[in-house]
Amino acid sequence: MGKAQEPVSSVENAGGGRAADDLFRHYAEMITSGVLGEGDPLPPEREIVETHGVSRTVVREAVLALANKGLVDARPRFRPVVRKPSFDTAFETVDNVVARLLIQPGGVKNLFDTRIMIEAALVRQAATDAKKDDIAALKTALEANKAAIEDSELFYRTDTGFHAVLYQMPRNPILPAVHKAYTTWLAPQWSKMPRLPDRNRANFEAHAEIYQGILMRDQDAAEAALRAHLANAWNQVRETFGDI
Amino acid sequence: MGKAQEPVSSVENAGGGRAADDLFRHYAEMITSGVLGEGDPLPPEREIVETHGVSRTVVREAVLALANKGLVDARPRFRPVVRKPSFDTAFETVDNVVARLLIQPGGVKNLFDTRIMIEAALVRQAATDAKKDDIAALKTALEANKAAIEDSELFYRTDTGFHAVLYQMPRNPILPAVHKAYTTWLAPQWSKMPRLPDRNRANFEAHAEIYQGILMRDQDAAEAALRAHLANAWNQVRETFGDI
DNA sequence: TTTGATGTTTGGTCATACCAAAGCAGGTTT
DNA sequence: AAACCTGCTTTGGTATGACCAAACATCAAA
């Protein structure tokens, strides 16, 4: 074959985009439309080269893009497999950008404010909608939290666990993913803070108050307790890091 | 120089990862830490080849990854420039994954439910915190909405505009980005629905009710109006698309 | 000073080659 | 027959080298 440059690609090239982009869109479409389902492997790179009439460079860049966007899972020497879509992976793929946004002035505060807003909404909802099982799960988490007051490491995990229950209650898969994102992105601040049994005890008391509000079906009380709890947490952050 | 395979890279290779990944992390770190600021161009590919002792293949894959993750903006024949980080770009980069999640059963419903939760929280907050300017902005948006009742196309935009004001009021840059994400991802359903002046009028009335609740500093009324409004919107979606 | 021709830079693509590890097939040992 | 080597094949990762087209820089001509 000649040198190059004749647009041999069989993929849509109308957009005038780069060949790699077109190939990316081609497979992204195959995946989104379900032609390629979860767990299905992509064809070998050399096969795509033939079927699409492009160089391996282009194929690799396209596959790379699919992997970077979280559509496929590419491990060395294995065919890339279509990834199970989840909101968790969605948050993972933006980790780098978010990291940049958080180091900016007010970045962490902005994120934390949305957390307050969402958790306030969650506890209000819990106060009206919580089923018996939900209350039980919350109580279990609360008791685990209480038992961990002397062990700051364990307390941190049970603390997270208590809040996690709130995110699970609406049974909306988006919410636990949001919670995971919060804990991941706010961890740098949170984990570096001094943790003492006294602090733990105060936080446990706050959790208990939230639980009580939900148990009593008192939306306003539950929300107030939660806002006080998170506002206090933020103050602790500010004491440790100053204005960020 | 010999054939290949001696790990010449000056970037950290300790992780055992691929050279391209290491290079990606290298520049991602430079960007996140601010060594490379917004608008700064990356070195030419051929220069990176020399400074890091890797092939251009590797360099290209790394740069590709940076572009895919939204860290740099790469246009053909231009040096990639460090992109201004924003929550909007964060949402854009997950567009493909989210598209897959939304076509799944209950996907749109889950997303819409979170929207209800957030907007309910927003109007409650607005009812207590809204400043004079905020109220004015909301009123302006409401009047524009009213004036567009006969023009369904324009009504859709002013409708979105009214809700947008709610997201702007807390002055948290994350929230408008969230709103934009909602409108983008829910647009396929929303834009295909039959739009009639009668429907528009009903929606306007709902907006007016929300506005009134905020104006009267009545959290519960504002929230109730909003929930009724969005629940009604969802019913319209279901009438059009059935169970999705 | 403006305009134009020209060589240079730079990202995009192609082609080829080699490596290392994973998979596979067939034969050997126990 | 089951477990264990052994060597060939597959497949992604990397390295080179080359060429194109558009953007850019430079400098001579008008």
Q: Single out the residue of A24, A182, A183, A178 nearest to residue A90, CA to CA.
A: A178
- A69 and A105 in a single domain? The answer is no
CATH code where residue B46 lies: 1.10.10.10
Domain that includes residue A36, residue range: 19-83
| Domain limit, last residue, from B84, B116, B131 | B84
Q: Does A170 touch chain B (CB under 8 A)?
A: yes
Task: Please check whether residues B98 and B219 belong to one and the same domain.
Answer: yes
| ipTM reported for the complex, 2 dp | 0.87
Q: List the beta bridge partners of residue A41.
A: A81
Residue A31 in this model has a pLDDT that exceeds 60 = yes
My answer on whether B179 and B229 are in the same domain is yes
Top residue of B117, B118, B226 to mutate, by most chain A CBs within 10 Å, is B117
| pLDDT value, residue B4 | 33
Query: What's the mean pLDDT in A224-242?
Result: 92
The pLDDT value recorded for residue B76 is: 87
Nearest-by-Cβ selection for A101 from B85, B97, B99? B85
Compute the average pLDDT of residues A150-168. Answer: 95
Over residues A101-117, mean pLDDT:
95
Closest nt by CA–C1' to B17: D13
**Of A83, A115, A137, which marks where a domain is finished?**
A83
Which range (A31-40, A110-119, B223-232, B235-244) has the least confidence? B235-244
Q: Per the domain annotation, does A13 fall within a domain?
A: no
Considering chain B, what percentage of its residues have pLDDT values greater than 90? Answer: 81
Total domains, chain B: 2
Provide, in whole angstroms, the distance separating residue B100's CA from nucleotide D20's C1'.
37
Task: Supply the mean pLDDT for chain A.
Answer: 90
For residue A32, the chain B residues in CB contact (below 8 A) are: 96, 99-100, 103
Q: How far apart are CA B142 and CA B66, in angstroms?
A: 42
B47 shares its domain with B97: no
Residues B151, B118 share a domain: yes
**Tokens encoding A111:** 């994120």
CATH label of the domain that carries residue B191: 1.20.120.530
Do A132 and A43 fall into the same domain? no
Q: Are residues A107 and A71 in the same domain?
A: no
Q: Are B143 and B102 members of one domain?
A: yes
Please give residues of chain B from 45 to 84 whose alpha-adjacent beta carbon (CB) lies under 7 Å from any atom of strand D. 53-58, 61, 77-78
Count Cβ atoms within 10 A of the Cβ of residue A33 and give its class: 0-12 exposed, 13-18 middle, 19 or more buried.
exposed
**Amino acid letter, A244:** I
Residue A141 has pLDDT above 80, yes or no: yes
User: Is residue B14 domain-resident?
Assistant: no
Please indicate, yes or no, whether residues A23 and A50 belong to a single structural domain of this protein: yes
- For residues A155 and A57, membership in a common domain is answered with no
In the beta sheet, which residues pair with residue A81? A41, A73
- Give yes or no for CB of A60 within 7 Å of strand D: yes
Give tens-digit pLDDT for B151-194.
999 999 999 999 999 999 999 999 999 999 999 999 988 888 88
CA distances from residue B161 to A191, A234, B151 in whole angstroms, order as listed: 40, 32, 15
Q: How confident is the model at residue B11 (pLDDT cuts 50, 70, 90)?
A: very low
**B68-71: long-range pairs with CB below 8 Å, 24+:** B68/A64, B68/A65, B68/A68, B68/A69, B68/B93, B69/A68, B69/A93, B69/A94, B69/A96, B69/A97, B69/B28, B69/B93, B70/A94, B70/A96, B70/A97, B71/A96, B71/A97, B71/A100, B71/B27, B71/B28, B71/B31
Residue B216 forms part of a structural domain? yes
Query: Please, what is the average pLDDT of chain B?
Result: 90
Does A174 contact chain B (CB < 8 Å)? Answer: yes
Within a domain: residue B10? no
Local confidence band at A17 (pLDDT 50, 70, 90 cut-offs): low
Residue A10 lies in a domain: no
Residues 39-98 of chain A whose Cβ lies under 8 A from any Cβ of chain B: 57, 60-61, 64-65, 68-71, 76, 85-87, 89-91, 93-94, 96-98
Q: Quick check: is B2 in a domain?
A: no
Q: Tell me, yes or no, whether A119 and A182 share the same domain.
A: yes
Residue A207 lies in a domain: yes
Residue A12 lies in a domain: no
pLDDT for position A191: 82
Report pLDDT for B5. Answer: 33
Chain D: bases < 7 Å from a protein Cβ: 10-24
Whether the per-residue pLDDT at A24 is higher than 70: the answer is yes
Q: Among the three residues B84, B101, B125, which one is the final residue of a domain in this structure?
A: B84
Could you tell me if A99 and A200 lie in one domain? Answer: yes
